[in-house]
A and B are shown apart, each in its own frame.
Chain A
């Protein structure tokens, strides 16, 4: 048992070690401040600024859009549908199931939606598809926290004459830390996922200036450049892997920090 625990914990260490040791060698200032010099497959100098910016755009956009859908849904099942338990239960089940749907299916679905509306691969299509993928992540994480808010709290607000809308605001405030954790969790998933953006956001060597232009992303920068025979291009892939890992680690550690602070707000 100890051995299997060690194997599992060790595999994490090994992954981090591999990415760090290989990435450090390729990382330099140009990598994070320049866009690729000679096309992403040809090589020459330059870095992966296009992918960093594209990834950040897509993740922030989809988290914002995702919040606009998931916060109301979660409030609905927690504050509004109290007497309508079956609807709340079905919603929870659906979120759990959607959470398990692989990102390639979201990507394929996003692609059919794009074709239907006549969109090209673009920042916008990428944001919409990633949003679909992270809404269940956001909703599940927030639901878990809001459900923890004591029943007495909402009872107290109702007895003071609050409407459900006003109670929802109280519930949100009570769960601020948890919502931040959910946002960071979703951001981490959004920035790291390749299969959703593969079909929908496309790839480009420049930084997108409008929603209708294609955007590069870090996972795809790794994926495409790793298979290149040219060292300079491969190095960009390793640097991108290191940067992505660092971003994701920072985001999950920040999520842990807010999660811990959650317990301080106990009533």
Chain B
């Protein structure tokens, strides 16, 4: 074999190996979906998916697996987080991209990056040490007679802080795709900077902001440990934001220990994971496609 043939052989072999590993990575998505479906199939054969999703009864010993309380728990916490994080993130992303002096930007961006690197468990410890006591001692007594502090609100606050970095970094990318000619045109017509931001930058970015919000929602829906530590984990539909909630990921994380000893329990928990996976997969795919289109428009 000549040296050239050897080089070509090496090229072919590595090409096939690399292709195989790429396909393997792509297939991970399929494998996760199929694996979770395989484990949750027994319960789906026994009960209809609508019954499982919209029933409030969760009694593993009596074969009752209604997810409604947990789904509501997840939605409440996620909704609260988005309500707090989205306006704050939009405002500060506008500030960072349009108004802040360059030196400040160079401090703020790494700070936000750092915030995104902190592990969820640390946010959880922070929530337990500061947010929960604050709600219990200061905030809640003004509205309700008794509160433990471990509440939907605490979960929402911790989640909001966790999704700040994600929202801001995507929003900054989105604002960067707004053509500067448009801003110049607006300014030259006599609009001031705030008017330009309002009617050019924000208006042009609506699809991007929506995509960022959806990504943030899916991050918040799947967050487990930090929320689990502060939201109380009582399976009941909350009457106020100071009540405890029990989100879906917390349900999975708390019960994996005994799920193998009760029939159908493991199938029910894997179904919960499958539901999370399906929702988040869909949300991610849609918002990424929107973001891709925005970037392409930029080119």
Q: Which residues of A contact B (CB under 8 A)?
A: 1-5, 7-9, 11-12, 14-15, 18-19, 22, 69-70, 72-73, 75-77, 80-81, 87, 90-91, 93-109, 111-113, 115-116, 132, 135-136, 139, 163-166, 168, 185, 188-189, 191-195, 198-199, 219, 222-223, 226, 237-238, 241, 244-245, 248-249, 251-252, 256
- The CA-CA distance from A172 to B253 in the complex, in Å, is 39
CB-CB < 8 A to B43: which residues of A?
none
CB-CB < 8 A to A93: which residues of B?
285, 288-289, 292
Assuming the contacts A15-B161, A168-B14, A195-B253, asked whether A102 and B280 have C-beta atoms less than 8 A apart, the reply is: yes
Question: Does B53 belong to the interface (CB within 8 Å)?
Answer: no
CB-CB < 8 A to A77: which residues of B?
22
Docked-complex contact A7 and B22, CB < 8 angstroms: no
CB of B7, distance to nearest CB on chain A (Å): 5
- The CA-CA distance from A34 to B223 in the complex, in Å, is 32
CB-CB < 8 A to A76: which residues of B?
15, 18-19, 21-22
CB-CB < 8 A to A69: which residues of B?
21, 24-25
Docked-complex contact A223 and B121, CB < 8 angstroms: yes
CB-CB < 8 A to B206: which residues of A?
none
- The CA-CA distance from A105 to B125 in the complex, in Å, is 22
What would be 22 A-B contacts, judged by CB atoms less than 8 Å apart?
Answer: A2-B95, A11-B161, A12-B111, A19-B122, A19-B125, A72-B21, A73-B18, A90-B26, A95-B25, A97-B285, A99-B284, A104-B276, A107-B253, A109-B36, A112-B35, A116-B35, A165-B7, A191-B119, A192-B120, A219-B121, A226-B125, A248-B117
Given contacts A72-B22, A105-B32, could you give 20 more A-B pairs where the C-beta distance is less than 8 Å?
A: A5-B95, A5-B96, A7-B88, A15-B118, A15-B161, A22-B129, A69-B24, A73-B18, A76-B15, A87-B22, A91-B25, A93-B285, A94-B25, A100-B219, A101-B280, A113-B35, A135-B28, A165-B11, A194-B121, A219-B225
CB-CB < 8 A to A113: which residues of B?
35
CB-CB < 8 A to A70: which residues of B?
25
A-B pair count, CB < 8 Å, reads 247
Which of A100, A108, A163, A194 is close to B284, meaning CB atoms less than 8 Å apart?
A: A100
- The CA-CA distance from A5 to B7 in the complex, in Å, is 55
- A interface secondary structure, majority: helix
Against A, the Cβ 8 Å flags (1 = close, 0 = not) of B103-128 are 00000101111110111111111101
CB-CB < 8 A to B114: which residues of A?
12, 249, 252
Docked-complex contact B288 and A97, CB < 8 angstroms: yes
Assuming the contacts A80-B15, A102-B280, asked whether A163 and B25 have C-beta atoms less than 8 A apart, the reply is: no
- The CA-CA distance from A84 to B126 in the complex, in Å, is 47
Question: Does B146 belong to the interface (CB within 8 Å)?
Answer: no
Q: Which of chain B's residues has its CB closest to A251's CB?
A: B117
Q: Which residues of B contact A (CB under 8 A)?
A: 7-8, 10-11, 14-15, 17-19, 21-22, 24-26, 28-29, 31-32, 35-36, 38-39, 87-89, 91-92, 94-96, 99-100, 108, 110-115, 117-126, 128-130, 161, 164, 168, 215, 218-219, 221-225, 229, 249, 252-253, 256, 269-270, 273, 276-277, 280-281, 283-285, 288-289, 292
